[in-house]
Chain A
Amino acid sequence: MPDQLIFGMEVFLNGLMAGVLYALVALGFVLIYKASGIFNYAQGVMALFSALTLVGIMEGQIPFAHLINAIFGTELHHFGWHVPGILAIVLTMAVMVLLAICVQKFVFRHLVGQEPIILFMATIGLAYFLEGVGDLMWGSEIKKLDVGLPQGINLAIDETTFGWFGYGFFIDNLDIVATIIAALLVAVLVIFAQYTKQGRAMRAVADDHQAALSVGVSLNFIWVMVWSVAGFVALVAGIMWGTKSGVQFSLSLIALKALPVLMLGGFTSIPGAIVGGLIIGVGEKLFEFAIGPLVGGATENWFAYVLALIFLVFRPQGLFGEKIIERV
């Protein structure tokens, strides 16, 4: 088998795994969008915030230590204890639920019925706010996150592929775990949205919130729930990405990775998010592999967007979106 093809296969596999993570982040968007019509730009910052909080809790950091020190002239840093990973994750989830309640209470309850684009811009404001709070609360230096996920090259795959092709694929254990967890989570979310009572209520709200209100669905509850679920998705994504490349500002940029996935898959479609994620994950890795060296590299920065843009011009509703019939 020619070398190029074998390298290409490796790239393809890596792309597929990246794609599952994109799909996971995109799913967070789709859930909120379906239930509330809000296109949540802050999703990426929520991942950053949750990862920061997780590290902070595990390390026993005192929140807002810098601020307190600056105001009162104290020298606070840590409580001096370490919290085990699982407990810290649970506590972080509690923080995310609290955040969901605050977001609903202070922001979006006041924006019900506004145009989608206004809501979108509000989430950009929310993203800025949350980023500032996260940094102020936990400090902005790069942190290491280790909740016990396996890392490093997967030797089994390396050896097997070496036996097949005479070339060992480099595939990170973390990526494999991330892919499995993401795939599981995607499945759970789909089941949740399709088959549970809350999921049904959520879809009802998405369809017509006044009608849902009139049959006794609590809008407030559904929206808080949806934001909590999105917080959960953000937390999972934050753990994966944070473990991989450290908890830092660039983590919030995964939201930017998920946007073209959404455009491709359609904002309202769960299968769209999954398929779109895979297409973009594989597409950008293969493009960088094949074309990148010719044009100076780092094409991953824009490939997904340009692909989605070209695609949308020909199919404005995305892969799985419903065809829009305009009426007067």
Chain B
Amino acid sequence: MLDASDSYVTEDGRTIGAVVMEMKNITLRFGGVVAIKDISFDIREGEIRAIIGPNGAGKSSMLNVISGFYNPQEGQVFYKGKQRPQMRPYQVARQGIARTFQNIALFEGMTVLDNIMTGRLHHTKANIWQQAFWKGKAEAEEVANREVVEKIIDFLEIQSIRKTPVGRLPYGLKKRVELARALAAEPSILLLDEPMAGMNVEEKEDMSRFILDVNDEFGTTIALIEHDMGVVMDLSDRVVVMDYGQKIGDGTPDEVRNNQAVIDAYLGVAHD
């Protein structure tokens, strides 16, 4: 077993660092419904961590807890070694946690460029007066932000749609723009909620490549939810398996694949 502060090198040569986020005994209820029941797991720096499970297992709720949208009734979240107090989602984002959404949540009335630029919010310090007169920090930051954003646009190969209103884009491109917006924040943890839902094989391959590249080039820690087992097993370093709000497995893809509880949950088990 590894300690929280240990690091190791994977087979493909990436360095996985210390634990950056730890969920401890999280329980989340909506009225009488228990969405998450006493779940603990951790995310290490630089790794790709997947959360899988059948429909309604509580995966999305888990992601919402991490991004601060839901506050769990019990349990603690530790981020970079410190316990995180109850926070509004925008404060969590400010700490360096960016995410994408299962049902695309782009700002439909804005252009692709503006959407991605919104991701740079925390890297903008100009106050409203400077912005009003477009002087001082305002203009310099706008240009600096634009440079970062253009790099991401190049990286995700969406140069040609830069100034297109998002509403006009097809589904696959929207997903990519959403990823770009999250990346623009230069997050320390990137949460991806079903990044490949509704995509065809080709689009899935593209997206997988982008996820791996992001992890590889920027060293971004990634936590993702995905239904496609093949993709998950190929991409991720470690996998958490959830079922009915409980954790039934946790480990490397190989360990999880051979876990009896996981097999039961996915294939069903004969009740006799």
Contacts and interface: CB of A to CB of B under 8 A. Distances in A.
Interface of A: 325, 328
A328 B102 contact: yes
B201 interface: no
B129 interface: no
A317 to B, nearest CB: 15
Interface string B109-152: 00000000000000000000000000000000000000000000
Nearest to A325: B30
Contacts of A325: 30
B101 A328 contact: yes
Nearest to B67: A328
B211 to A, nearest CB: 20
A229 to B, nearest CB: 35
A328 B69 contact: yes
Contacts of A328: 60, 64, 69, 101-103, 105
Interface residues of B, number: 8
Interface string B46-72: 000000000000001000100001000
A325 B33 CA distance: 14
Given A328-B64, A328-B105, 6 more contacts: A325-B30, A328-B60, A328-B69, A328-B101, A328-B102, A328-B103
Nearest to A326: B69
Interface string B81-104: 000000000000000000001110
B183 to A, nearest CB: 19
A165 B101 CA distance: 68
Contacts of B102: 328
A328 B105 CA distance: 8
Interface in B24-52: 30
Nearest to B103: A328
8 contacts: A325-B30, A328-B60, A328-B64, A328-B69, A328-B101, A328-B102, A328-B103, A328-B105
B178 to A, nearest CB: 12
A325 B30 CA distance: 10
A328 B62 CA distance: 13
A325 B70 CA distance: 11
The 3 nearest A-B residue pairs measured at CB? A328-B101, A328-B69, A328-B64
A301 B269 CA distance: 68
Contacts of B101: 328
A55 B103 CA distance: 54
Contacts of B30: 325
A328 B106 CA distance: 12
A325 B60 CA distance: 15
A325 B64 CA distance: 14
Contacts of B69: 328
A325 B29 CA distance: 13
Nearest to A328: B101
Contacts of B64: 328
A234 B49 CA distance: 60
A325 B35 CA distance: 14
A328 B60 CA distance: 9
B182 to A, nearest CB: 14
A328 B101 CA distance: 7
B64 to A, nearest CB: 7
